[in-house]
Amino acid sequence: MSITRTGEDTFFHDILESLETGLVVVDGSGTIVFSNDAAAELVGRSAARLSGRPLDDLFVDEDGGVMRKVREAARSDAGPLNEASTARLVDADGSRLPVRIEVGTTDHDGQQHYTLSLTAPLRQTGPQPLDRTEDVLRGVFEESNDGLLVIDPTADRVLDCNGRACELFGCEREDLLTQQPGDLLPHDLESLLEFAETGRRVTGELDCCTDRDGRPTVEITLSLFSVGEHRHVLVHLRDVTEHQEREARLRRRSEAMDAAPNGIAILDEDREFVYVNRAHAEVYGHDSGSDLVGESWETLYGAEEARRFRWDVLPTVHEEGAWRGEATGRRTDGSTFPQEVSISRLDDGGHVCVVRDVSESRRRTRGLDLLNRASRDLSQARTAEAVAGTAVETAADLLGTDVACVRLFDRDSNSFEPVAMTDGASELVESRPAFDLKSTLAGRAYRAGEPVLDRPDPDDPFVETPDWGSIHLPLGEYGTLTLLTGAGETLSTADRRLAETLAETVTADLERVERERELRESERAVREQRDRLTSLNRVNELVQDLIGELIEAPTREELEQGICERLADTDRYQGAWLAETDVSGDWRVLKASAGLPEGYRTLVEQLPLEQVDDGVVARAAETGEFSVACDYWTDGTPGGGDKEPTRVESTAAVPLSYGDRLYGVLVLKTDESDAFGPEIRSGLEVLGDTIGFAIHAVENRRLLLSDEVVELEFEVTDERCLAVDVSKELDCYAAIEQALLTREGNHLCYLRVDGVDPETAVAVTAEATAVADCRVVDEYEDGCLLEVRKTESGAEVMMDVGATITTATAKDGVGTLVVEAPPDADIREVIDGYTARNPESSLVAKREVDRGARTTSSVRERLQEQLTEKQESALTAAYYAGYYDWPRGSTAEELAESLDVASATLHQHLRAAERKLLAAVLKD
């Protein structure tokens, strides 16, 4: 199209004036050179009054800062003027108006100009004349972010277009100007004119896209303007494809959220619901999510839970951006339920909340826990009755019912016998004599080998108990498990499966109990047959064999268990067991046992020692003498667990002692009342003494033969410790050098006292606890050595637990005691044994020590280092001359004559050599 310069200027002026977006063009100095009517209307001034004014005059509190921001926006590819906060214009009345400004650039005569696109509610004002050149208008036209077409409706052709329009249509400018409007737009020319005249906005897909797979969806705005006598249509094209795709994604996301199984809700910054999906509404008992929109989230929780969210959860979300945990929700009917909650913070201050009801999950978890616990309990049951009892308790907890019953099939009577019922089942049977927990249905389940579920009709007048439903589960060939529930209750598939799993477990344990019973009966028959084949006269032979085997036992436990097994494995005794006393005097029954019936074991474990076997064990423990009880009956286990009393013919209690120490009592069981006559009693007493000696030897041998020992160090302030008592009274150092056990059972110890004269040391020591006598055996320059005889000692306690005291020293009333114990010793028993006797003591160190083996060569080497040549000669000659034999092979006079020394000199050398020899052996 050919137009004059003035006409073309007017043409572009009309185009720009027809735009609804405000346009302002400024030069490089920030002076406004052009504004369209939309921009002038936005600030309440005419376009002519805006022309030539500084751009800063249009903005609030700006002093040259606007042009700086304009230039920055232009350098960033025509981005928004200010994304962080909306810029504010000042209109003619001084009012402030927020707008969004986008910046573009154009060159004219080598000078850069800036185009500002102002987006805000438009005001209608009359047209203003342009007073700038067509080049500036052409730059604005070309740099528009939206596509622009100028159509001549009369000629039905495109007069002009900008670069953005070419991009949308995917063709060059020359090709676009040759197209007819009907080929480019989704509407005919008459419709476009109608749209333009009415101001309607239309959208649609463009029809001539050649360089893209999909056609862009555009929003089309039409405006009419005249150039002279000619009307033109300005087509404003804005690509809204991405916007519509985003809306479609949001729709799909919304549909997905609505269909999600978990509850999803979106809250605004005031914690009020703006979106709630169906699952979220239903979990709280609402019919629709719209019921909650606009409501506060606190309406879904109790006061305490809402307070926890406000003070604990939401601050965490604010700091970390998200929180996940458990809470208790409240439904519309007031009931509560456990839930898992996930809350995430949104950029606008709102929150996304995801909720899942975990009631069923917890119920399943609880059911599995009950089954696991029941499996452990059932595996420990030894009778069918015990299995049935555990089964009804577990079933009642599993399904939340108080009515459960196990019936076992009795083959002799060909009927079901209830062997275990809950209290609720017992009350139901007692209150309704004609009601038998629906045994007919239980029989059907037993015969079919499949569960039978009964859900009666409450309105049926012929149903005896319409308020009860039931499920009957077969227990293999052994019986049935019956559970009653309320008639209105629904037994879920998960609950039914849990109940069936329990029935399978119970069936397996009933089978195990039956096999164990048959095995016990078989073993008992074999044992009775073997016992009948063994003669009575083998008792003494057995005792002799046991005495020989005791010495070879490596540990006390193996020694005791071997004794019980060997005795029980004869025709004389049906069972044997040991009762043991510890260092504190407490008794522990069944330390070792063999051949005992289960009922008798239960009786022994539950009754006090004085009541076991008519008190025979307690009498032997108290008197230390052999004791026998014959021909009596037990009353069963406490609480009436046994239905029938147990007959015990004869029981013997044999004390196991060594010296004054009673290590325990051996109990023998037999069916023969005369099994412990005088001829056998003496043999058993010898056996008891021998076992006591063997236990003592084993306990001490562990320490003597062990290269590695555990060394325990105690700090002692208890005055019952001799060294502590003496050092405290005399403010000195005292140490026990050695301790021995005398034939009379007393303790002989050698106490060293430093810094005190012998008379004072003897006087104070004689007054110490448990001291019977003391005397001075050696004097030093700064102290003395006392020989002290005591009636009791901590060393005895340590020997009883297999340990030994290696060091006992004290200074000014604070003692240090070092105890050695074998590595396999019960260290807690050692500690408790010593602290029980000396309460004012505490363990301060525990060490593992390798003390190494002491060989003959090491002793000889040590002796050679200490003996003089004359002492070694005297000792060697005395040994080989038979001076130490009995009767003596040589006298001292003969030996002295052989060595050519005086008799006194020989005795002096021998005494010194003997002392060094004993020191080399006994030291350490």
Asked whether 654 and 616 are in contact (CB, 8 A), the reply is no
Q: How many other C-beta atoms lie within 10 A of the C-beta of residue 623?
A: 12
CA–CA–CA angle 158, 164, 167 (5° rounding): 90
- Over residues 813-839, the pLDDT tens digits come to 999 999 888 776 677 878 887 888 888
Q: What is the Cα–Cα distance from 728 to 706, expressed in whole angstroms?
A: 36
Please say whether the beta carbons of 342 and 320 come within 8 A.
no
Strongest mean pLDDT among 29-38, 686-695, 718-727, 798-807: 718-727
Q: Which amino acid is at 352?
A: V
Burial of 631 (0-12, 13-18, 19+ CB in 10 A): exposed
More confident residue, 341 or 870: 341
- Angstrom CA distances, 392 to 374, 450, 488, 506, stand at 10, 19, 22, 10
* Residue 432 CB neighbour total at 10 angstroms: 12
Cα separation, 669 vs 678, in Å, equals 17
How long, in residues, is the chain?
924
Cα–Cα distances in angstroms (integers) from residue 573 to residues 56, 525, 569, 667, 890, in the given order: 118, 14, 7, 10, 59
- CB neighbours of residue 499 within 10 Å: 22
Give the residue-averaged pLDDT of 64-69: 76
**Is it the case that residue 127 has pLDDT exceeding 50?**
no
Q: Of 575, 623, 635, which is closest to residue 601 (Cα–Cα)?
A: 575
Burial class for 651, CB neighbours closer than 10 Å (0-12, 13-18, 19+): buried
Q: How confident is the model at residue 467 (pLDDT cuts 50, 70, 90)?
A: low
- Measured over the CA atoms of residue 724, residue 729, residue 732 and residue 736, the dihedral's sign is negative
**What pLDDT score does 209 carry?**
42
Alpha carbon distance 374, 406 (integer Å): 15
E-only strand ranges, 600-677 = 627-633, 647-658, 661-670
State the pLDDT at residue 762: 92
Backbone angles phi, psi at 599, to 5 degrees: -65, -40
Q: Which residue has the tokens 């007692």?
A: 430
Residue 13: pLDDT band (50, 70, 90) is low
* 109-118, 249-258, 510-519, 887-896: least confident range: 249-258
Q: Is residue 809 over pLDDT 90?
A: yes
What is the 8-class DSSP label of residue 313? I
**pLDDT score for 3:** 33
> For the segment 761-800, what is each residue's pLDDT rounded down to a tens digit?
999 999 988 898 888 888 888 889 888 888 888 777 777 7
At 768, which amino acid appears? A
| pLDDT confidence of residue 921 | 65
- Three-class SS of residue 461? coil
Residue that is written with structure tokens 């308020």 in the block: 467
d(CA 310, CA 242): 39
* Most confident among 528-532, 584-588, 818-822 (mean pLDDT): 818-822
pLDDT digits (tens, 9 = 90+) for 332-356: 888 888 989 999 988 888 888 999 8
pLDDT value at position 125?
40
What distance in Å separates the CA atoms of residue 419 and residue 807, rounded to the nearest whole number? 64
Contact 663, 695 (CB under 8 A): yes
Q: How far, in Å, are 378, 391, 501, 522, 652 from residue 375 at the CA level?
A: 5, 10, 11, 27, 40
From 775, 779, 700, 787, select the one nearest 742 (Cα to Cα).
787
Tell me the pLDDT of the chain averaged across its residues: 77
Q: Which helix (H) or strand (E) holds 283?
A: helix 278-283
Cβ-contact 236, 209 below 8 angstroms? no
Is the dihedral angle over the CA atoms 505, 510, 513, 515 positive or is it negative? negative
Task: Give per-residue pLDDT as tens, 415-449.
Answer: 788 888 888 888 777 776 656 677 778 888 888 88
Summarised one tens digit per residue, pLDDT across range 284-331 is 888 888 888 888 888 899 889 889 988 988 899 888 889 999 898 898
pLDDT at 280 over 70: yes
What residues are paired with 712 via a beta bridge?
Answer: 819, 846
What pLDDT sits at residue 128? Answer: 39
Least confident residue range of 781-785, 891-895, 917-921 = 917-921
Return the structure tokens found at 897: 């004559």
> Which of 269-278, 605-614, 697-706 ranks highest by mean pLDDT?
269-278
Q: Tell me the H-state helices in 432-550.
A: 439-448, 493-533, 539-550
* Contact (CB, 8 A) for 772 and 746: yes
Structure tokens at 486: 């309320």
Q: For residue 712, how many other CB atoms are within 10 A of its CB? A: 23
Task: Yes or no: say if 118 and 71 are a contact pair by the CB < 8 Å rule.
Answer: no
CA distance 271 to 273: 7
Does the pLDDT value for residue 733 go beyond 90? yes
Q: What is the dihedral of CA 572, 576, 581, 587, to 10 degrees?
A: -120
The span from the CA of 221 to the CA of 200, in Å, is 7
Q: Are 281 and 265 in contact (CB under 8 A)?
A: no
Q: Rounded distance, CA 614 to CA 611, Å?
A: 6
The predicted structure's pLDDT at residue 648: 52
Q: What percent of the chain has pLDDT over 90?
A: 5
pLDDT reported for residue 814 = 92
- CB of 391 within 8 A of CB of 415? no
Q: Which amino acid is present at 527?
A: R
Lowest-confidence region among 72-86, 124-138, 161-175: 124-138
CA 134 – CA 467 distance, rounded (Å): 96
pLDDT tens-place string over residues 202-243: 555 554 443 445 667 778 877 777 777 777 888 888 887 777
Residue 208, pLDDT score:
45
Distance of CA 60 to the CA centre of its chain: 62
Closest CA to 556 of 440, 656, 452, 439: 656
Cα distance between residue 406 and residue 420, in whole Å = 5
CB neighbourhood size of 453 (10 A): 13
Q: What percent of the chain has pLDDT over 70?
A: 76
Supply the DSSP symbol for 296. B
Beta bridge partners of 34: 25
Q: How far apart are CA 579 and CA 568, in angstroms?
A: 16
Nearest to 899 by CA among 918, 921, 876: 876
238's CB contacts (< 8 A; 6+ apart) are 146, 147, 218, 219, 221
pLDDT for 727 equals 92
- Please report which confidence band the pLDDT of residue 735 belongs to, taking 50, 70 and 90 as the band edges: very high
Are residues 294 and 270 in contact, defined by beta-carbon separation less than 8 angstroms? no
pLDDT band at 536 (very low <50, low <70, confident <90, very high): very low
Q: Which of 510-514, 746-750, 863-867 has the lowest mean pLDDT?
A: 863-867
Residue 732 is predicted with a pLDDT of 93
C-alpha R_g of the chain: 54
Residue 493 near residue 501, CB atoms below 8 Å: no
Question: In the predicted model, is pLDDT for residue 256 greater than 80?
Answer: no
The span from the CA of 273 to the CA of 293, in Å, is: 5
| Strand, coil or helix: 156 | coil
- What confidence category does residue 123 fall into, taking pLDDT thresholds of 50, 70 and 90? very low
Overall pTM surpassing 0.75 (yes/no): no
Secondary element (H or E) of residue 693? helix 678-704
- Helix/strand/coil (H, E, C) string of 527-577? HHHHHHHCCHHHHHHHHHHHHHHHCCCCCHHHHHHHHHHHHHCCCCCCEEE
Query: Which band of pLDDT confidence, cut at 50, 70 and 90, is reported for residue 856?
Result: low
Between residues 389 and 877, the one the model is more confident about: 389
